[in-house]
Structure 1
Amino acid sequence: MLSPKTKRDVARVIPFGVLWFVFALIYTMLEKGILGDLDHYPSTGVEYNFARNILTIPATGLMMGMLTGIFEVGYFSKCFIKNSFTRKIVFKSLIYLIIVVIFLITIMLINALDTHEPHSFQNLSSPARAFLTDYAVISTLLYIASIVVITQFYAEFSQSIGSGTLSNFFLGTYHHPVEEERIFMFLDMKSSTTIAENLGHVMYFEMLKEYFFDLSGAVIDYAGTIYQYAGDEMIVCWKLKDGLKKNNSIECFFAMKRALEKQQVKYNSKFGILPAFKAGLHFGMVTTGEIGSLKKEIIFTGDVLNTSARIQGLCNHFGADLLVSGDLARMLQLPATYAIRSVGENLLKGRSKTMELFAISFREDGQTK
């Protein structure tokens, strides 16, 4: 079974392969329209075979796209993550273009070796020199550069609004409202007002960037989706089955705590404090759909969001870092490593009936419940 992170990475790589495949197919058709019935490339004299190209060029494009996606997801997106939107596109596009040019020249040299006899340097250098100086090649490289830039725009937009959200827009998943059950976690930083006053607004904002970045890894690892950032608050959600599977919604919270603790030295040295947080969880039916005209978003509406926020608001009152609704707690199958205790029935603002809440903590002594 693939982990949620691996599934997410695969889903991020595939669109790169599809984009390159489509553009390579378009190029092959345009090339046929330009060359017509010619059996060779006029500039190099290399044999032209449309039947071969219609298979090899899109296949090569697919391979290049998948490799680009692997480099992007596995390496470059992390290296340039703190650069601005424009700088990331420019720098990464240049790197990818250099890689593609090297690959293209290699393919050309191999093709020249196969189609020129005997295999001498002189016979090889002639088409190679023509390839590197011909205007047609320059136009081809410009076409490839456009593919690189387009894929980088896709990568950055996908990262900015979330790959799942972008695919939902493309597929029209929520073009018409859909009802579904989801778990929501409202996660709020402790003593954020005091921290902001001590650090100053600019430094506080820098800390928020680091804070949300460090928390995001756990969301990915436990199959969650970041719905919104609201000031110092993060709203994470799961489809019900994904949040219940292996207790992902609970495990995510404690993985976030461990992620921050691992960065304690960084936070203390840069900001003089290690931020902490509290969270409230609840599940219920929501209506999901696209909304907006000038700015489109996919939003959730339903009582579960207000209830989750109210539950989180009671964390300080009960001295708990994590509170969950009784409805959700009874659906969980927590291992003995977690301690769960009822904090009683509570009448939440906006509700007519009381709701039992439970505090969940990590049992460090390893005792059974």
Structure 2
Amino acid sequence: MKLSAITKRNIGRIIPFGIIWLVSGALFLWVEHAALGGKANNLESAIKLDAGVLTFALTGITFIGILVGFIELVYLNRLFEKQRFLVKIISKFLIYAAFFFVVILITFPIAASMELKTSILNQRVWNRYGTFFFSITNASTMIQLSFQLLTSLLYAEISENLGQNILLNFFTGKYHKPVAETRIFMFADMKNSTFIAEQLGHIQYFELLKAYYFDLSDAIVKNRGEVYQYIGDEIVISWKIKNGINKNNCIHCFFDMKSDLLKRKENYLEKYKVFPDFKAGLHFGEVTTGEIGALKKEIFFTGDVLNTTARIQGLCNAYGVDLLVSKNLILRLEFGDEYSVKTLGKPQLKGKIDAYDLVTVSLA
């Protein structure tokens, strides 16, 4: 069964939690072993490590990390979405602390029974647990888990704010040196945004923008797009040329965004008394991509294609359409009966020497 783009993205966001927990867990175990000088641990409260116990411990730690990632992304992230950063961290930490207490209650007796080579129901196993609970070993375990948990939560927040692909690119240094690549860009601009802002006021308009961008996100992920920038009421979406052309993702994305907004039209009208619609321009070309900034780093695209796409989007009102696409891009796509394409002309774009054939695409 082929996984959807959203499922692949979620898996890609959860796996780093497992890696964080595995690496930090292995590091803590190594530090403890080194601190003992390679000798067997003579604390009665501690589990003596052998190959079986070590494998169980690292497997369990990785599984817990993945489970934390799943809970974080599927449940807690949405539950605390509107809370401040500090409230998020403290609240989540307390929830996970209770969760870990239950996990240790389950896993320690299993490890103790493996070491003692006896049944988990044996009284010696539970005597060992009682000794462990009030020991320095338990305190050490709590410190380790707290460190791993805080690292996971900070990763989740940074990833959420920067975007996982951006964070990954920073870690791998992919764009530390500028590289040239061909990309597709969509500039999607909210219609009548000035009127809506005046009608709602600054605070409520900001809340509408948050809801609007949130409601567009699933369509972008599903069609393998990447959010490059939010510029006021405009969102800039980018695709690597292969991802954007495959299955006409860049065109599908526009109509999926429209569809997702329409599904929530009644909610917008009920809460804000307005419905935010948008128009968009699409074009592709070569850009130079790299890290830029002194006080604040970001992955930056530079090239004529961005300016051209913005100009194309700016002509939507003149042609009375919601979508304008350069013919150069249309020629790279393969349409079946799903869409109809209408040629609109070859206008001179503002500030450009070259003219571009423009078309609009609609559902057939």
CA distance in 2, matches of 1:116, 1:39: 17
Partner residue, 1:366: none
Query: Which stretch shifts more, 78-87 or 190-199?
Result: 78-87
Residue type at the aligned position of 1:98: A
CA distance in 2, matches of 1:67, 1:281: 39
CA distance in 2, matches of 1:117, 1:242: 55
Q: Is the 8 A contact 1:32 1:50 kept in 2?
A: no
In the TM superposition, residue 237 of structure 1 has moved relative to its aligned partner by: 0.4
CA distance in 2, matches of 1:112, 1:165: 43
Partner residue, 1:213: 214
Instruction: Look up the SS of the partner of 1:355 in the other structure.
Output: coil
Q: Is the 8 A contact 1:16 1:69 kept in 2?
A: yes
In the TM superposition, residue 362 of structure 1 has moved relative to its aligned partner by: 1.8
Give the total of aligned pairs.
362
Provide, for residues 188-233 of structure 1, a one-character-per-residue CA deviation record: whole Å limited to 9, x for no partner. 0000000111111111111001000101111111000000000000
Show the 5 A alignment for 1:30-49: 30-36=31-37, 38-44=39-45, 48-49=48-49
Partner residue, 2:244: 243
Q: Is the 8 A contact 1:28 1:57 kept in 2?
A: no
In the TM superposition, residue 43 of structure 1 has moved relative to its aligned partner by: 3.8
Partner residue, 2:168: 167
Q: Is the 8 A contact 1:279 1:323 kept in 2?
A: yes
Query: Which stretch shifts more, 108-117 or 310-319?
Result: 108-117
Residue type at the aligned position of 1:147: Q
Residue type at the aligned position of 1:148: L
CA distance in 2, matches of 1:118, 1:250: 61
In the TM superposition, residue 41 of structure 1 has moved relative to its aligned partner by: 4.7
Q: Percent identical across equivalent pairs?
A: 43
Provide, for residues 174-201 of structure 1, a one-character-per-residue CA deviation record: whole Å limited to 9, x for no partner. 0000100000000000000001111111
In the TM superposition, residue 121 of structure 1 has moved relative to its aligned partner by: 6.4
CA distance in 2, matches of 1:300, 1:320: 27
Query: Relative to 1, partners in 2 of residues 1:282 and 1:118: Cα closer, same or farther, differing over 3 Å?
Result: closer
TM-score, normalization: structure 1? 0.93
- Stretches of structure 1 lacking an aligned partner (at least 5 in a row): 364-369
CA distance in 1, matches of 2:218, 2:251: 15
Residue type at the aligned position of 1:314: L
CA distance in 1, matches of 2:57, 2:124: 24
In the TM superposition, residue 47 of structure 1 has moved relative to its aligned partner by: 5.0
Instruction: Look up the SS of the partner of 2:346 in the other structure.
Output: strand
Residue type at the aligned position of 1:81: E
Partner residue, 2:101: 101
Show the 5 A alignment for 1:92-131: 92-114=92-114, 115=116, 122-131=123-132
Partner residue, 2:75: 75
Query: Relative to 1, partners in 2 of residues 1:61 and 1:112: Cα closer, same or farther, differing over 3 Å?
Result: closer
Provide, for residues 39-83 of structure 1, a one-character-per-residue CA deviation record: whole Å limited to 9, x for no partner. 455142x65134444433222222211222222233322332232
Show the 5 A alignment for 1:1-369: 1-36=2-37, 38-44=39-45, 48-114=48-114, 115=116, 122-363=123-364
CA distance in 2, matches of 1:24, 1:310: 52
CA distance in 2, matches of 1:66, 1:303: 42
CA distance in 2, matches of 1:153, 1:195: 36
TM-score, normalization: structure 2? 0.94
Query: Relative to 1, partners in 2 of residues 1:320 and 1:190: Cα closer, same or farther, differing over 3 Å?
Result: same
In the TM superposition, residue 125 of structure 1 has moved relative to its aligned partner by: 3.5
Query: Relative to 1, partners in 2 of residues 1:178 and 1:120: Cα closer, same or farther, differing over 3 Å?
Result: closer
Q: Is the 8 A contact 1:324 1:359 kept in 2?
A: yes
CA distance in 2, matches of 1:230, 1:195: 16
CA distance in 2, matches of 1:117, 1:234: 61
